[in-house]
Structure 1
């Protein structure tokens, strides 16, 4: 779907994002899939990335992942194609039991930006569980005297599946004596009864073996079976009887083990073994009765064998069977109700709810601090509880309902005087003797946000060597806040501004919680000598308060730039440049000058010049100034000197390690009587004998040539400046700084600087370098560089 006036792809993404956000806000899940249980590994579930509107190329960069609170390994997503598939065996019955609805809830998480999607995967039931009976064989004992149409209850089967897969039908194998009746009140409660259709004759058939089958409603059907073993018993026509059908006994809780509860007596008019009676608890008696009571099978005495606790169980219903020893045995029944009487054996319980902590120091009197509920498991007066507070606290208790209190503020608070209170509540019951308990709550007095974060210093100076690795830690700012809790939780951020043409955040970043300042990219001393910026610290109070600190980051120079030759000598190493020199010049005559520049600064840019010795060890009649680069003669030239002299000048900086460059100067020695040919390049002609007229002519030509070249240079510079100023942005001013290369010489050496960058520091414009020997502060900075390079700082 494409909206008019918008890009197709961008509009689709915007619409899909809006729909996903709307679905997220209104429903518990954005996507719904279904998969049958027991599906094989790799079974396709859905194109989850496509349905969520995520591009496949974004899945890995945005850390696409799927999490589940349930079995996290059941489903998996292929991050290459965005398909959700079955990863391991899914058993619906193991996952959800017999719940009608079964699903796996997935959380789909992507970062940058963070988004969370909810996906529900329904697990559909398949008929993979057959009906199961609780036992493999059910035994029934039926007297041969039982009347026709007598019914005998059978245990039914259960099916772990749901729906139609768990609907069971029962079938009994064909026989002459019994039929099956199934009374279905609902699917969860089917009563299966075996009905006697033909009189039993123990002498004819003492036992009947029947097969009961249960079939579910799934496709295909699954069947379970149980063997019914019916034993025909001989006649014993009198059952034991009790004097009462129900007995009631009262006994105190915590009575001693072995105490007699009651002694029962049943009678049987039969004679012999048919009249001998044994007593037992009915098979339907709950396990808790068996844990607390025992019965003597011979005399019918019920005794205590476990501790009786009124607060846990105050009434026990015990069904007792009296069984004779006839064949078949017959039973009589009675019920014994054991009522447990209460004693004051439980201390009161105190619970704090709805705590409204901490309490602001400017909170109003009668402000509710907490709700308190008290209880006592005893009954009557033993369970009646009264409460009180420890004295000398600015709080009081207000009764709101029976056994419910409110802890309210009784007087004004002052955090500076008392930052917190330990409030003790005492609860006492009405028993004799009374039992009591205490509970305490720490009430912290919270401060209002009246202190801004503060730095130890208003400004810090940081030294960082250039060419640092990206993300390097350069400094850690730390501010303290005198407030408490959220009001003292400080976060840090950069005060964004422009550094030349770039944003400050492209150079450095600050971690919001730790205050660690990192350089996001390698810093270049030749591009940026000093970066000055502010870091803001704000607390989390309402309203938030903040403070700032200034960081001056000096980028220390590293010797990463080799000397660069200027003028024609820059290309002389490969081809060489010739100069003409009269043989008649004397000692100390300056022939030419080698010029070089180093983009570094300090010692790294301090250049020296050396004349490499000639091959064969011959002594050259020339020398070069150690720091000036001037090539001059050491003696008068004579006929023995070769007509062509090749000088190799080594230019070296003072960095560690030192970087070098070489320049080659070719000199052609010309006799004073020879007329030199016109040079192809600029050459220095020196006539030691010198005729004033020739020198005057040469000087005139040189002056004219210099004036012409200077005029052309000035015109070019004016045109260049005009073009730069017309193209400059408003933030750069009328004219941006140029890229000059300054070389300064002195008697003690050459100090060269490079200004081939827009700005020197983070103050918005470049500052020109000094063109003389550096002052004491510069040497101090160089000293810092050397100490940093040697690992001493």
Structure 2
């Protein structure tokens, strides 16, 4: 067992097994001595723990199978065999209660046998197998029966043993004890081997059948075999172990006698051994002060005969050895006998604790044994105090300086007080009350320790002087009281935090302004007095893009550090801190939001058409409102600056098309103006609604192809979109190849012209003629490969000089190539299978004459 040292709760340390602790004992009890400490409260408490049995063990036979020979002439009703009793470690009702018989090899055999169960003096059961019907070996020579032992638990548990019976002719005389029971008395503490009794059994048979062997019954051997033994041949019972009257004063033994013949039927005799007491136990003195701490005590100045302690004396011996006389050795106390074993210790004088706080009383008890045994116990007696001294505080007036802005329950001061008494008479209780009007409950004093703590947050600016009355009372039955005053002066600290004039600041600033542009001003005030009211401003570091701004440390003016671009970021959020100079921990943070106002600083961006993707195709037979394509444009500005308007500024003189001003969708307005292989070259203007207005222009070519059905037309997509890009790449490659051929041809023609000029003696200088080329650039011919103005046909004229007559000869070159529809990059689903693209190149040769 273990005991909690504080609560006194006793609990088990390990699982308890009653059968291991108290085998075969009806009542299982364990005696514990509980010691109470400290010494001032020392006491021994006797605790008896009763272990209650549960049915956790099944009965158990010593053997699983017993061979048994029975003479066939065994008379009916004869107990033919004593079956070894089943053992059950449980006790009481959970032990073995009944035995049953069951046949194994034949249902009819059960009638030939029966069980005789007899309760023995030692609590065991004598179980014998009886013959109910006569046996006939010639009729049946072998029987197998089962004996079942059942306990009384719930649920019940059982065990069985098989009796294997063989019918034979056997010895017909059994041993018989001269006396069926014996009664003997012995003294405790006999030495081992000391004989106590001889039992005798006789057998009239001769030879081995008449030789008797003695032993204890199995139950006796198990329970008491460690204390007593029996000699096999003589039947002498002797002391084998310790015989202690205080442990057991009575033993019930069962002796067994059997002959050496075959199938011997044993006889049994009961022996009652009484143990006589000898004086081997000294008196035991138990003191009970009937106090909380177990300490004997008496209050000072108590009257004579005041109760001090109760004493109980016991002696484990019996008879005169258990009788005793007791006395004390002090004249300051007297011993009063209440009964044979109970005494009271009383005060014989009036005690004064200031003279002595404790006395020792020796109590001695001597028994009447021979030789006598005695015990002496010293009993300390405390003289308890009465309240005869008032408390005293260390000062009559306590003056305390305490800083404002304190935390709740902060310690202000500890009041020290003493009391010359002890115990509860010296235990002090503190209390405090305010004598300043309107300042109640501002402080609290711990009633036990005298620690004064703040119950409010003191504010120097509101009130800075408080007065209190402190009272100290002891806890005596008639208490004494002492008082003192306390003056509390509150000291000022920087306890006021800056306060912004607004919870949140929101500013606006136009984009593209120069650095150091003022965005706004934040303002915070501090209610403290100088120097605690000086406010300093700063931007909390770490916010995204906070480096775009600065705040004036003294004025709170917020300025930009660089030009802001709304299209890069339209708003900024950060925090500004207002703090006291030199007190960085006293600060207030406010959220600031700066919105960047948009300016119309971006022109629209046209994503379709583009210089490389500005031609769409459409069928020539469509209806009015048929959507040909859609102009795609964006504007990164905001609001009206990003609202776009679409118009056709050139190339739509006949009003063949119209454009949606809001969406940019180009639709057919007059389908009658459409002709096959006709190209409409239009200029589209996209402008925003800002101030000033910004715009972009783009060229869009619409090519009418009668081979396209309405579903094959380009609707809102350029020729570079989707798989058309593959076709166009092929077209461009072919186009550049043709340009290369044409340039080569031109160079050959020019070389041939120079040859003709020499032949006809013309003095036309090539450098002079180059000055009159269009745009003055002889590379104009190469522009055919990149000119977006005429993807299909283009005509150029060359003025070969300004001298003499000008003659213009037009030379045309036309190149045609086809793209097969079966090409995997071909995107169109409509006819024709072959598209012909023609490039016509025309130039004029002017000769100098």
TM-score range, shorter-chain basis?
A: 0.3 to 0.5
Q: Give the TM-score normalised by structure 2.
A: 0.45
TM superposition score normalised by structure 1: 0.48
Structure number with greater CO (CA < 8 Å, separation at least 6) is 1
Bigger Rg, structure 1 or 2: 2
